[in-house]
Amino acid sequence: MRTNLERKSVLAIAAGILFLPIVIYGWQHFQRPPLTNTKKVLFKGIEYERSIVKKPRPVVIHIISIDLTEPGIKVLVTPPQNQQSYSTKARTTSDFLKEFRLQLAINANYFHPFHENTPWDYYPRTGDIVSTVGQAINHGRAYGKADSKWYVSCFGKNNLLQILKSDRCPDHTLQGIAGKEMLVINGESSNQQDNQDKPYSRVAIATNKEGNKLWLIAVDGKQPLYSEGLKKTELTNILLNLGVDRALNLDGGGSTTLVMEKDNQPKLLNSPSHTKIPMHERPVANHIGFYAEVVDRHW
pLDDT digits (tens, 9 = 90+) for 238-271: 999 999 999 999 999 999 999 999 999 999 999 9
Which of 271, 294, 286, 296 is closest to 99 using CA atoms? Answer: 286
Written as one letter, the residue type at 228 is: E
Q: How confident is the model at residue 11, as a pLDDT?
A: 55
Contact call for residues 182 and 192 (beta carbons, < 8 A)? no
In this predicted structure, the answer to whether residue 3 has a pLDDT above a threshold of 90 is: no
Whole-angstrom distance, CA of residue 216 vs CA of residue 75:
13
Contact call for residues 77 and 90 (beta carbons, < 8 A)? no
Which of 81, 82, 137 is closest to 109 using CA atoms? Answer: 137
Using DSSP, state whether 257 is helix, strand or coil: coil
- For the chain, first and last CA: distance in Å? 59
Q: How confident is the model at residue 6, as a pLDDT?
A: 57
Strand partners, 286: none
Mean pLDDT of 154-167: 97
In this predicted structure, the answer to whether residue 58 has a pLDDT above a threshold of 60 is: yes
Contact call for residues 134 and 167 (beta carbons, < 8 A)? yes
Whole-angstrom distance, CA of residue 215 vs CA of residue 208:
9
| DSSP symbols for 162-198 | EEESSSSPPTT--EEEEES-EEEETTEE-PPP-TT--
In this predicted structure, the answer to whether residue 52 has a pLDDT above a threshold of 90 is: yes
Contact call for residues 176 and 137 (beta carbons, < 8 A)? yes
What are the tens digits of pLDDT across the range 62-109?
A: 999 999 999 999 999 999 988 777 899 999 999 999 999 999 999 999
Whole-angstrom distance, CA of residue 214 vs CA of residue 212:
7
Indicate the range of 16-25, 37-46, 89-98 predicted with least confidence.
16-25
205: enclosing H helix or E strand: strand 202-207
List helix spans (H) across the chain.
4-30, 93-99, 232-242
Using DSSP, state whether 84 is helix, strand or coil: coil
Indicate the range of 215-219, 235-239, 295-299 predicted with least confidence.
295-299
Using DSSP, state whether 43 is helix, strand or coil: strand
In this predicted structure, the answer to whether residue 2 has a pLDDT above a threshold of 70 is: no
Mean pLDDT of 145-174: 96
Tell me the C-alpha to C-alpha distance, in Å, between residue 275 and each of 119, 157, 253: 5, 39, 10
Q: How far is CA 299 from the centre of its chain?
A: 22
Whole-angstrom distance, CA of residue 27 vs CA of residue 17:
16
Whole-angstrom distance, CA of residue 72 vs CA of residue 61:
27
Q: What are the b/e assignments for 161-183, b being 16+ CB within 10 Å?
A: bbbbebbbbeeebbbbbbbbbbb
Q: How confident is the model at residue 5, as a pLDDT?
A: 61
Contact call for residues 46 and 240 (beta carbons, < 8 A)? no
List helix spans (H) across 54-143.
93-99
